[in-house]
């Protein structure tokens, strides 16, 4: 958690991202020039493992236990928002896949509003992909060639084909790590049959991505969010490199990823937990998420991976800077 001194209410804006695994809070200082992609200074950044997809995401339902975890996190975030005197028109709270597909979505939104006075906006997968693009563009220069942005969430995965100038194509797929874990990983170590079944499923499900990349092959993959952050942390530690808390981007080699990927496949839950850099809540989901990344890198013959430490919540801030 990063925090700073109390700010006057006109100086800051905030975003809350209610993901399938994690709730994120981001508070930033308003820059003088407020245009899209304008760099901003982070005042407070925090995430809490709410795991609202656990136990019900595959059935389209948020369990009572998950709702309790979410409410506890949002009540804590409300205290932080009050500290920074963030008014409601400068707070953007969005929810993604788990809540997007939940049968009890309306009841949860109403309950959160009643208990916290926070208004949740459930966004479409298409809008989620758009915000992710804005976040990545704020963090780094994409470069001359085509890039494939990939965000692996717990409920959905977003792909954005883009270059430095514009988005060429975007789509959200409901194949997030929690969904893949529920469907393809019965035990602590995936069997070869489960991996084969997963790859066959991805081959079919990602057909729209395959078709667009045949015409616009990417030179590089830009990954963002939890899976990529965890792999990047593990890789830095393996190489005895210092982790930069304020870095906007990083990178790893495909061959470095392949070594880590094999570790995930061969180790059981406790052994994965012991990997330096592993995030405990990802110790199981990281296996199927890593299989997904391996499929994409292999299928589309991508040899370079960059990691953007800005994604959805940063994109929400970037998109709305000109309006606050």
Q: Residue 324: is its pLDDT beyond 70?
A: no
Bridge partners of residue 309, in order along the sequence: none
Structural domains of the chain in order of their starting residue, each with its CATH number: 9-122 (3.30.420.40), 140-312 (3.30.420.150)
**Which band of pLDDT confidence, cut at 50, 70 and 90, is reported for residue 7?**
very low
pLDDT tens per residue, range 301-318: 999 999 999 999 999 999
Looking at the chain, the whole-number percentage of residues with pLDDT higher than 70 is 96
Average pLDDT, the chain: 93
Task: Specify the pLDDT at position 5.
Answer: 47
Count of beta carbons in the 10 Å neighbourhood of residue 118: 18
Q: What is the pLDDT of residue 287?
A: 98
| Whether 312 contacts 135, CB under 8 Å | yes
CA atoms within 13 A on the CB side of 181: 25
What secondary structure does DSSP assign to 45-70, as a single string? EEEEE--TTTTTGGGT---HHHHHHH
SS3 letters for 139-174? HCCCCCCCEEEEEECCCCEEEEEECCCCEEEEEEEC
Give yes or no for a contact between 121 and 94, defined as CB atoms under 8 angstroms apart.
Answer: yes
Q: Which residues make Cβ contacts (< 8 Å) with residue 9, sequence separation at least 6?
A: 84, 85, 86, 87, 90
Q: Tell me: the pLDDT tens digits for 197-245? A: 999 999 999 999 999 999 999 999 999 988 999 999 999 999 998 877 7
Instruction: Give the number of C-alpha atoms closer than 13 A to the C-alpha of residue 242, restricted to the C-beta side.
Output: 4
Residue 144: the pLDDT is: 86
Check whether 285 has a pLDDT greater than 70.
yes
Beta bridge mates, 223: 150, 307
Q: Is 123 helix (H, G, I), strand (E, B) or coil?
A: coil
Dist CA 260 CA 305 (whole Å): 14
Task: State whether residue 294 is helix, strand or coil.
Answer: helix
Kind plus residue range of the DSSP H or E element containing 29:
strand 22-29
Q: Alpha helix (H) ranges present in the chain? A: 64-83, 97-100, 105-116, 125-139, 177-184, 192-205, 207-215, 226-238, 254-266, 269-273, 285-299, 312-320
**pTM of structure:** 0.92
């Amino acid at each position: 958690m990063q925090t700073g001194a109390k700010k006057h209410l006109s100086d800051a804006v905030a975003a809350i991202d209610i993901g399938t695994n994690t709730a994120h809070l981001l508070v930033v200082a308003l820059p003088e020039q407020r245009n899209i992609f304008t760099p901003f200074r982070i005042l407070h950044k925090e995430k809490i493992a709410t795991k609202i997809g656990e136990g019900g995401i595959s059935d389209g339902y948020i369990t009572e236990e998950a709702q309790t975890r979410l409410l506890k996190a949002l009540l804590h975030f409300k205290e932080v928002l009050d500290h920074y005197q963030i008014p409601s028109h400068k707070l953007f709270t969005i929810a993604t896949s788990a809540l997007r597909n939940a049968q009890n979505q309306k009841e949860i939104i109403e309950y959160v509003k009643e208990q916290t006075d926070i208004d949740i906006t459930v966004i479409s997968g298409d809008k989620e992909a758009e915000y992710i693009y804005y976040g990545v563009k704020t963090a780094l220069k994409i470069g001359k060639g085509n890039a494939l942005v990939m965000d692996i969430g717990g409920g959905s995965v977003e792909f954005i084909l883009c270059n430095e100038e514009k988005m060429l194509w975007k789509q959200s797929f409901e194949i997030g790590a929690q969904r893949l874990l529920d469907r393809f990983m019965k035990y602590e170590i995936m069997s070869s049959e489960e991996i084969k079944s997963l790859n066959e499923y991805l081959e079919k499900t990602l057909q729209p991505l395959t078709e667009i990349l045949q015409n616009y092959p990417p030179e590089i993959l830009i990954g963002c969010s939890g899976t990529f952050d965890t792999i990047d942390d593990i890789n830095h530690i393996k190489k005895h490199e210092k982790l930069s808390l304020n870095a906007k981007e990083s990178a790893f080699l495909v061959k470095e990823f392949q070594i880590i990927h094999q570790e995930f496949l061969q180790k059981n839950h406790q052994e994965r937990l012991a990997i330096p850099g592993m995030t405990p809540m990802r110790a199981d989901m990281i296996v199927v998420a890593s299989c997904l990344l391996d499929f994409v890198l292999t299928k589309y013959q991508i040899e370079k991976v960059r990691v953007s430490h800005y994604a959805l919540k940063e994109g929400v801030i970037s998109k709305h800077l000109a309006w606050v």
